[in-house]
Structure 1
Amino acid sequence: MTDHVEVTGRGAHHVVPDLVIVRARVQCDARDVASALTESSNRTAAALQAAADHGVEARDRRTDDVGIHPRHDQNGRKVIGYTAYQAFRLTVRDRDRVGDLLQALAGAAGDALAVDGIEMGADQTDEAVAGARDAAFEDARLRATRFAGLAGAELGKVLHIREGGADDHTPRPMMARMADFAGSMPIEGGTQAISTTVTVRWELT
């Protein structure tokens, strides 16, 4: 078997966030399951329609989670009703429209609306993903070079390479520092990195 060294490198490509991600949910109470689910569904539909009316495209409107659970009396014994919820995520490509969008969502869903988070994001472009892979490969090469030196050998040809490695990472966004948003609302911004890992096996010569 050919002598070889296999290492995992990690790399990231930094990009300027240009999207706003709004994570919200609609939560409704009712005495029975059917009513709670119906009310939650209707208000969620109204909120999503409001988002569409304010320029959020269909590809940028996504429902994330739905559920229902019972509500009990103060003693925790008797079921007095049910709470149904529907979570959704909106990707806003025009940052200046977020304030108006939030008002529209509140108007459509009423007091059933809760905003769980607002943060900056960026598209994972081919260029950014390629940059992260290149950085990860270079990190792996430097590590492998050090190991080869300790063994009194040099790196030869690449025998095998795969993306993922020990941590099974694929290109993904990593949020960074806080930034200010319209109305002094804090959201994630500043720097964002598309990160990944690659595992590379080199022949030793």
Structure 2
Amino acid sequence: MKTVRYALAGLAMMAGTAPQALMAAEVQVAAQAPVVSLSVTEEVRSAPDAASFSTGVTTQAPTATEALRQNSAQMSALIERIKKLGVADKDIQTSGINLNAQYDYQQNQPPRFTGYQVSNNVTVTVRDIDRLGELLDQVVQAGSNNLSGPNFFIDDDVAVKAEARQRAVEHAMAQAREYARNFGYSDVRLLTVSESVDGGGNYPQPPRPMAKRMVSAEAKAPVQPGEIGTNVTVNFEFAMVQ
């Protein structure tokens, strides 16, 4: 910190008065070192430990009441089957219920009303990926005619995020020191650090449509979890030091 002093003197000479007091002002001018700002994103790839898929029932009937009645009965049986397969209540969540009038459209003809269609779908979270193929087959056997997914994710991502943060810190320090040396400084000192929160993360995403060949009840559906990436973005500010 450099201190610069300015002396300001004012002298008023008026008839019958003495000189006024000397006035001084002190101005401090900060001599700051250059600052380097970095945003580092690191990804750690690892095997997922959970998956989700969407399943449900679509029914059609002449009246809305009948379409909903049929759908409710079939959907209740499907959910009960999923629970008997060992899926906890907290891992079964209704994702949408839709009721729509249906029409038959023919060329050069007015639309012809054909009835009502009801769809009810749930998102199912599977904690044991090894059982995913079995569950997909079982829901089809239980009456599901809507099926999409799966979406793989990491349920417990604490360890992989910690690894990604450590990598981000190491890379940021190396880059900041390289900048410092390029500008004639010997090292850097950390000023601020913050982490950017990504809403996506490893939370379940809307399941993708599943090919019909994967839901055959003849055999367990083939499932390949592969690997997924966990990203962490950390923002740094370093001061260059001599």
TM-score under structure 2 normalisation? 0.63
Unaligned runs of 5+ in 1: 176-180
Coordinate RMSD, CA, aligned = 3.3
> Cα 1:37–1:158, aligned 2, differ >3 Å: closer, same or farther?
farther
Residues 103 and 142 (structure 1), Cα distance of their counterparts in 2 relative to 1, 3 Å cut: same
Structure 1 or 2, whichever has the larger Rg, is 2
Counterpart check, 1:97 vs 2:126: no
Select the residue among 148, 156, 161 that pairs with 1:124: 156
Alignment of 1:43 onto 2:79: no
Match runs of 1:2-13 below 5 Å? 2=32, 3-13=34-44
Q: Which has the higher strand share?
A: 1
Q: Deviations over 1:76-133 (max 9, x none)?
A: 734433333233222223344344433432243x2x5222123544323321221222
Mean CA deviation greater in 63-72 or 48-57: 63-72
The one-letter amino acid of 1:202's match is F
Higher relative contact order (CA 8 A, sep 6+): 1
The amino acid across from 1:10 in the alignment is: T
**Distance between the aligned counterparts of 1:60 and 1:189, measured in 2?**
19
Which ranges in structure 2 are unaligned for 5 or more consecutive residues?
A: 1-29, 205-213
Hey, which of these two has a bigger chunk of helix by percent? 1
What's the % identity of the aligned pairs? 23
Structure 2: distance between partners of 1:198 and 1:133:
7
- Once the 2 structures are TM-superposed, how far is the Cα of residue 199 of structure 1 from its aligned partner? 1.8
User: 1:88 maps to which residue?
Assistant: 122
Mapped to 1, the partners of 2:119 and 2:176 lie a distance apart of 51
Equivalenced residues, count? 194
TM-score (norm 1): 0.72
State the distance in 1 between where 2:83 and 2:175 align.
49
- Give 1:66-85 correspondences, 5 Å limit: 66-75=97-106, 77-85=111-119
